[in-house]
Chain A
């Protein structure tokens, strides 16, 4: 006698799921965000802003 349980289709186990870290879209998104924003982050800092910070450092120091 075949049990009903045996006749059910096998469900994919949780372990077989792709983790978010390995997801191709996640990888593509991360790379895309770096392409979009890394250049901005690596631009030289504005002299005026640095001067402002250094002046404050002197007055506090």
Chain B
């Protein structure tokens, strides 16, 4: 069982990194946070009950560690950290701009909403597991994801987004996605 525990820790590391980055918005701090959380988990492994939700247990340890660190040092975030790595990818220019906007919009979200959105939308985590991992009620977990999504949509394409460039960009993206979906539907209904 002990071996299984360590394998589970290694397997979940990529997701912990994403969660840590969602919380800290800083690569260096995220790496430190993951390492600290793993140390905490190894020290507390006897308290983990085999057969229960390891993922939620581990995400919760990382989150508690983040909150504990945050109390010690009230750091501001580094919004350039994520886009810098991402924008060097092969994404087309237009997509890179939209990604930068998305990264900046994510930075503006409260950290609990940002974390919830990423764990559900990106990791496909259920609301029940999110609630368990973040120590809140299922309704609160749902509400965080809903508000994060609605707020992002409002910033990216909504009424209070003053940038006409972003509006135009999003309108084009909507068009592209709509066209793709239309093509898919047409292919699906083709005899």
Name A's B-contacting residues (CB within 8 A): 22, 24-30, 32-37, 39-43, 45-46, 48-50, 52-54, 56-57, 60-61
Contacts and interface: CB of A to CB of B under 8 A. Distances in A.
Contacts of B117: 33
Given A25-B153, A45-B13, A33 B122 contact: yes
A32 B91 CA distance: 11
A41 B121 contact: no
Given A40-B18, A41-B15, A34 B122 contact: yes
Nearest to A60: B2
Given A22-B181, A24-B173, A35 B10 contact: no
Classify chain B's interface size.
Answer: 35 or more
A35 B121 CA distance: 13
A26 B173 CA distance: 12
Interface in B9-56: 9-10, 13-15, 17-18, 21-22, 27, 30-31, 34-35, 38-39, 42, 45
Interface SS majority for chain B: helix
Contact of B39 (A27, A33, A52): A52
Main secondary structure of the interface of A (DSSP, over half): helix
A57 B4 CA distance: 10
Given A30-B122, A57-B2, A60-B2, A36 B86 contact: yes
A28 B177 contact: yes
A52 B86 contact: no
B7 to A, nearest CB: 9
B157 interface: yes
A39 B117 CA distance: 18
Contacts of B177: 24, 27-28
Interface string B134-146: 0000000000000
A32 B38 contact: no
A41 B121 CA distance: 15
23 contacts: A22-B181, A25-B153, A28-B174, A28-B177, A29-B149, A33-B118, A35-B95, A36-B86, A36-B106, A37-B122, A40-B18, A40-B82, A43-B17, A45-B10, A45-B14, A46-B31, A49-B34, A49-B38, A50-B10, A53-B10, A56-B42, A57-B2, A61-B3
